[in-house]
Amino acid sequence: MADRKGLEPPPGWVSPMLATLTGERFSDPGWIYERKLDGVRCLVHRTGDRVSLYSRNRHELNNSYPELVDALTAQQGDFVLDGEIVAFAGHATSFARLQQRMQVNDPEAARRSNVAVYLYLFDVLRQDGQDLTGVELRERKAILRKLLTYADPLRYTAHRNRDGVAYWEHACRQGWEGVIAKRADSPYANGRSKDWLKFKCVTAQEFVIGGFTDPQGSRSGFGALLVGYYESGELRYAGKVGTGYDQHTLDELGRELAALEQDEPAFAKGNLPRSRVHWVKPRLVGQIAFSEWTRDGRLRHPRFQGLRDDKSAHEVIRERAR
């Protein structure tokens, strides 16, 4: 992947508001419901003619998505916006397809890419120097709707009122990742909040890559990834991920893993695989879809979706419904 260094917080930086996973599904007139998009979080800062795109951990994204910078530069005024960058495979957002752009850090190469990207905007934090984080969400959405001229690649994130269960059922039928439920009168808060809730259709989350197995048969690069998550300061093993890789990923990720090899596992002691295993420094984070957790804390039917560089390894924990 492209090597992007973490930056000092830009002027006016507000850490993004994050949704909490829940197993509950509800309809409520005091909440709104938005489609959960399978992409990369993006904080937009515009001051004068300068537009900067940042990931949730303050990596600048301008070189990877120059067409988004162009579209936002053509707008008027100063603002800080919150949204999600996505790519599509058919009618569904595809994190795997977006990977092809995430790995590009050259504007001209990005423009030549055959992967079209879109920025879905769903919140506004500042407008022309005015702090809007204390304003109720419904009003912030109304301000955002009028703030920009929306044309591809910029899209406004529409929402449903009240009917959360019906919208979640619709999302699952359409093959979407799920729905985000948001308390309509909530302010914009730093970090994770129960005012924003995730109604998931697909079970997926980030995991730390702590090792890999040798390839077998005709496969090259590696066989399976060994992944885990942090709990009480220790890296807990969650299982092997052997599917979801194309040849490009096997080759490129295989080279990255080889450069990170170490003699001992970073995982906490326990029932770890030992046959044809290579341990690596726990620096890379992968997005993994799976059917469920087993009773012994392993992933059932896991599938690799792509690498993430918008979350550091030590932030990765097991998501639990609340």
Q: What is the pLDDT of residue 2?
A: 40
- Is pTM beyond 0.95? Reply is no
Share of the chain above pLDDT 90, in %: 82
160-171 pLDDT tens trace: 999 999 999 999
Provide the domain count of the chain: 3
Q: Based on the domain organization, do 237 and 191 belong to the same domain?
A: no
> Catalytic residue among 36, 141, 182, 200, which?
36
- CATH number for the domain harbouring residue 65: 3.30.470.30
Catalytic residue list contains 36:
yes
CA pair distance 99, 68, nearest whole angstrom: 16
Bridging pattern class, strands 50-54 and 40-47: antiparallel
pLDDT at 231 over 90: yes
Q: Based on the domain organization, do 45 and 147 belong to the same domain?
A: yes
Q: Kindly state whether residue 198 falls inside one of the protein's structural domains.
A: yes
> Residue 95: which domain range?
38-156
127-163 pLDDT tens trace: 999 999 999 999 999 999 999 999 999 999 999 999 9
pLDDT (mean) for 213-218: 92
- CATH number for the domain harbouring residue 26: 3.30.1490.70
Contacts 24+ apart (CB under 8 A), 164-168: 164/25, 164/26, 164/27, 164/28, 164/31, 164/33, 164/199, 165/25, 165/26, 165/27, 166/27, 167/33, 168/25, 168/33, 168/199, 168/201
pLDDT at 1 over 80: no
